[in-house]
Amino acid sequence: MFWLAWKTLYHEKGRFFVTVVGIVFSTILVLTEVGIYLGMMRSATDIIRHNDADIWIASKNIQSFDFANTFPESRKNRVESLADVLWAEPLVLTWGFLKLANGGQEQVQIVGFNPDKGIGAPWSMIAGRASDVKGGRYMILDKTSEKRLGSLKPDSLWELSQSRFRLVGVSQDIRSFTTAPVLFMSYAQAQDLPIGWVKPGVTSYILAKLKDRTKKDDVVGSLRTLLRDNDVMTSEEFVMRTVRYWTIQTGIGMSFFLTALLGLMIGGAIVGQTIYANTVQHMKEYGTLKAMGAKNEEIYKTIFSQALISAVAGYALGTAVMLMSRHSIEAAGVPLYLSPLLIAGVFIIISASCLSSAYFSVRKIKTLDPVMVFRG
């Protein structure tokens, strides 16, 4: 039956070509939308996921990592007082304006970390070391921000919020969801910036590492009792809170979902229409098969095989186009996440959509009376 399905499709080359092109379009659209969405969510949670911390303490009712309020830094002592806490480190998240060579300015997201401990430091460096920010007005910028900031040359001087800073390092592939360039500096320097809400004595986050991760829930419960004016979350909870905010509360997730769904509907509709047209055109042949003793289930397999062959051919070509275009898309500053698991998952979904679209052709065969075909 598989061979019959292939011969039928090959006989109708024009229709098969249109079907494959439709699935290619559907594949590219779905992979692009899902890949960009996942890439953006990874960017939004990168700093949370790349820190060796089990627990995050933040201001009350924080919605996502990017919108932190300050609270007293002294609360770190309460965290460290718990016997199950191995260490606790503050982290500053704030914003500033970087003056550009052409006289303009660009808003940047500033992360202030303790260079002695490296908690919250950039995890991927292509020039310099994260610890180089220690001891003065030094900063690290990410390579992905060059299109907006210009050339990032180590040892160059930059003006940040009316203060002069030296660029001592360049990180790689560290983005924020807000698309603002990410800038790293020492915790002390971030507190000294003249930008209002961040000042000595306050912090944006306190990160804690536990001696035994199996006691994480117990420690979180204790900290929530101890720090009633703060939100206390595990790293996983903070990641999910950030993802929920950008996906649901901003409506971004729904827009990506609807576009991906549109791609699936287009691919399924094209496959369904093509297979249905092939089925109607070959009704006499199918009637002959039934008259010769072929069961409905065997003919169903032929029709579903046509849908599956179309899905495999179109998806393979569409995926190849996406993988070849991946570097160009990311070079344009668009975060795109394509993993083997994602590619396999989308293939299953698109195949299911194509197989479902063949249902109308199956119904046509189910009601086919071979006698009526010959009479016609």
Structural domain ending residue among the three candidates 228, 260, 291: 228
Angle at which helices 235-244 and 13-49 cross, to 10°: 130
Same domain, 204 and 87: yes
Residues 116 and 133: beta-carbon distance below 8 Å: no
- Please report, for residues 146, 305, 309, 313, the alpha-carbon distance to residue 3 in angstroms, rounded to integers and kept in the order given: 54, 9, 11, 15
Give a yes or no: residue 74 inside a domain.
yes
Is the full-model pTM beyond 0.85?
no
Same domain, 99 and 25: no
Would you state the structure tokens that stand for residue 299, as one six-digit string? 């003919």
pLDDT of residue 292: 64
pLDDT of residue 129: 93
Give a yes or no: residue 52 inside a domain.
no
pLDDT bracket for residue 252 (50, 70, 90): confident
Give a yes or no: residue 90 inside a domain.
yes
Would you state the structure tokens that stand for residue 134, as one six-digit string? 């220690």
pLDDT bracket for residue 161 (50, 70, 90): confident
Give a yes or no: residue 148 inside a domain.
yes
Would you state the structure tokens that stand for residue 363, as one six-digit string? 């119904």
276: containing domain: 2-43+251-375
Query: Which residues have C-beta within 8 Å of that of residue 3, sequence separation ≥ 6?
Result: none
Per the model's pLDDT, the better-predicted residue between 356 and 228 turns out to be 228
pLDDT of residue 169: 94
Same domain, 353 and 279: yes
> How confident is the model over 83-98, as a mean pLDDT?
93
Same domain, 266 and 218: no
pLDDT of residue 166: 95
pLDDT one-digit tens code per residue, 79-90: 999 999 999 999
Give a yes or no: residue 314 inside a domain.
yes
pLDDT one-digit tens code per residue, 14-58: 777 877 888 888 888 888 888 888 888 888 899 999 988 999 999
pLDDT of residue 259: 81
Residue 206 clears pLDDT 70, i.e. is over it? yes
Question: What percent of the chain has pLDDT above 90?
Answer: 42
pLDDT one-digit tens code per residue, 292-350: 666 666 766 777 777 788 888 888 999 999 999 888 888 777 788 888 998 998 888 88
Helices (H), 199-339: 216-226, 235-244, 252-281, 283-291, 296-331
Residue 159: beta bridge partners?
A: 99, 164
Same domain, 223 and 271: no
Same domain, 224 and 255: no
pLDDT one-digit tens code per residue, 271-306: 767 766 666 665 666 666 666 666 666 766 777 777
Give a yes or no: residue 26 inside a domain.
yes
pLDDT bracket for residue 2 (50, 70, 90): low
Give a yes or no: residue 234 inside a domain.
no
- Please report, for residues 7, 47, 275, 355, the alpha-carbon distance to residue 311 in angstroms, rounded to integers and kept in the order given: 16, 38, 12, 9
Neighbours of 224 (CB within 10 A): 14
Give a yes or no: residue 71 inside a domain.
yes
> What total number of domains does the chain contain?
2
Angle at which helices 13-49 and 2-11 cross, to 10°: 110
> How confident is the model over 191-217, as a mean pLDDT?
87
